């Protein structure tokens, strides 16, 4: 099933969910953070969609806001969709998908570790790559660290 059809089905069956095709990428559906969990549960459990696999989950720093992207795949029907959630940069919070997809656990810990996104109701939200006592979130664009030396501009 193509992405617009997936969106139409989602809107038809779950009219309360606020979703649209992302202006940045026609293959992704932009969602409101509050409706993410309900939308993902529908996408997973609906017979005609059957997104049974969370392929990937990652965060992006868009300078004025953060985004979390979820790539869902269906082994059963062999189609794919990307979900995008825009988050506030100062207090990025979104519901955890680990109750729906077990694999979300470590992906969400990585996004927390490197971007500082807080996943609500995550079973074990702590750093996964950086040392436990690390300060700050290194993949953010405004990150500074004593060990981080910027490459000089070439003349």
Residues making contact with another protein (CB under 8 A): 130-131, 138, 143, 145, 147-151
Smallest distance, another protein to C-beta of residue 154, A:
11
Which CB atom, from 126 or from 150, has the smaller least distance to another protein?
A: 150
Smallest distance, another protein to C-beta of residue 113, A:
12
Smallest distance, another protein to C-beta of residue 152, A:
8
Which CB atom, from 16 or from 149, has the smaller least distance to another protein?
A: 149
- Taking alpha carbons only, the member of 97, 94, 127 closest to residue 109 is 127
Which CB atom, from 63 or from 144, has the smaller least distance to another protein?
A: 144
Which residues does residue 84 pair with via DSSP β-bridges, in sequence order? Answer: 30, 69
Smallest distance, another protein to C-beta of residue 106, A:
17
Which CB atom, from 51 or from 137, has the smaller least distance to another protein?
A: 137
Which CB atom, from 101 or from 137, has the smaller least distance to another protein?
A: 137
Smallest distance, another protein to C-beta of residue 21, A:
35
**Dist. CA 41–CA 46, nearest whole Å:** 8
- The Cβ of residue 31 has, within 10 Å, a number of other Cβ atoms equal to 25
Categorise residue 41: left if φ over 0, alpha if ψ from -120 to 50, beta otherwise: alpha
């Amino acid at each position: 099933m193509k992405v617009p059809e997936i969106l139409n089905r989602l809107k038809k069956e779950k009219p309360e969910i606020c979703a649209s095709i992302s202006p940045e990428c026609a293959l992704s559906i932009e969602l409101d953070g509050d409706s993410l969990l309900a939308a993902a549960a529908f996408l997973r459990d609906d017979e005609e969609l059957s997104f049974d696999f969370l392929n990937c989950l990652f965060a992006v720093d868009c300078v004025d806001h953060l985004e979390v992207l979820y790539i869902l795949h269906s082994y059963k029907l062999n189609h794919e969709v990307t979900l995008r959630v825009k988050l506030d940069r100062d207090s990025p919070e979104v519901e955890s998908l680990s109750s729906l997809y077990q694999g979300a656990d470590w992906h969400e810990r990585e996004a927390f570790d490197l971007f500082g996104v807080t996943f609500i109701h995550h079973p074990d939200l702590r750093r996964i790559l950086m040392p436990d006592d690390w300060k700050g979130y290194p993949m953010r664009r405004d990150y500074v660290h004593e060990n981080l030396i910027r490459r000089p501009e070439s003349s």
